[in-house]
Homo-oligomer: A and B are copies of this chain.
Amino acid sequence: MSKVTIDDVADLAGVSIKTVSRVVNREPNVREATRLKVEEAVARLNYRPNLSARNLASHRSHLIVLLYDDPSVYETPSSGYIIRLQQGTLRACRTADYELLIHPCNYRDRKVKSNLTGLIERTRPDGIVIAAPLSNMPQVIKPIAATNTPYVRLSPGTRSSGEFSVGTNDREIAAEMTRYLASLGHERIAYISGHTKHKAVANRLKGYRDGLEQSGLPYAETLVAAGDNSIGSGAACAEALLEDANPPTAIFAANDDMAAGVIRVANRLGIDIPGQLSVAGFDDSSLASQIYPSLTTVRQPLPEMAERAAHALIGSSENGASRNGTDVVPSELKVRESTGRVPN
């Protein structure tokens, strides 16, 4: 294995190591000819700067941490959710020569704080991307903020000033889905809400109400059931909703897993989807396109959101320019087989 160091490159190029450093770090004040010489030497020797040496000297680690809820605890979030987040973050890291450290973390644990400060002090990441629902938990955010490590929150649910976050249009897209169902003739559209800890998910309920109103449909509490994001809770809510004397003709669940629970119950009860009942989810998890019938849902641009977050972090570590405000990357409706016209 080649242990090419900056000295080797400097020797070959006939310059000082400082100049090599300048070229490698794309700093200004290098004559074009010199730059070319150095770049050629770098290529010839296949030189790669040593991350650790770089970090030690520069107090920058070229490391980004992706923080998300530990799926091993309750099997949520779903693996697809995490993988898409990782993909986006990795994309940003790769183009900028940063590495990604993943850190699933259980917010219910008493030791979250020491867990997080330990991680940060050991690895000194240049930035932390915090996925929902951790992104709106004080016990997660506060220890991180206390270390002065830059971070970006994903779908924090609420806006807060002085920091940067990336979200999507949860509320608007939930309204759009509701209007879409109404446009199919549905008048009794039920809603299964998710975990209230997840603020962005809570916004979907508001969107549902907006959508009803925009469609001239009344809001009825009997048409709203409280799930907890799991398949089982979706099934339980569906049973409760469907045994009503005047059952809904469409059910909109705040995530795909719960929608899958609805489909499961409908299958068991011999209710045809979408003939007798339309079902819509949220997330476009891998499940959504794989189950039968495939699920009409909302696709969140998770990779893009994570990529923007990581990109902002990398930018601020490179040139100190930290952004603030909230970037909104719009979600989109994915209409599939599980929704159709209201039965007549």
Contacts and interface: CB of A to CB of B under 8 A. Distances in A.
Interface in A291-306: 291-292
A96 interface: no
A166 B292 CA distance: 36
A83 B71 contact: yes
8 contacts: A49-B122, A51-B52, A51-B122, A79-B83, A82-B83, A101-B101, A257-B290, A267-B292
Contacts of A90: 102, 104
A153 interface: no
Interface of A: 1-2, 46, 48-56, 61, 71-72, 75, 78-80, 82-84, 86-87, 90, 97, 99-102, 104, 117-118, 120-124, 146-149, 231, 257, 260, 263-264, 267-268, 286-287, 290-292
A46 B78 CA distance: 34
B55 A52 contact: yes
A263 to B, nearest CB: 7
Contact of A101 (B55, B100, B117): B100
A301 to B, nearest CB: 14
Given A2-B121, A51-B52, A87 B72 contact: yes
Contact of A80 (B79, B146, B231): B79
Nearest to A148: B1
Contact of A48 (B101, B121, B286): B121
A233 to B, nearest CB: 14
A52 B62 CA distance: 11
Contact of A286 (B78, B84, B99, B264): B78
Contacts of A260: 290
A102 B46 CA distance: 23
Contacts of A50: 56, 121-122, 124
Nearest to A104: B90
Contact of A124 (B51, B117, B120, B147): B51
B102 A123 contact: no
Contacts of A124: 50-52
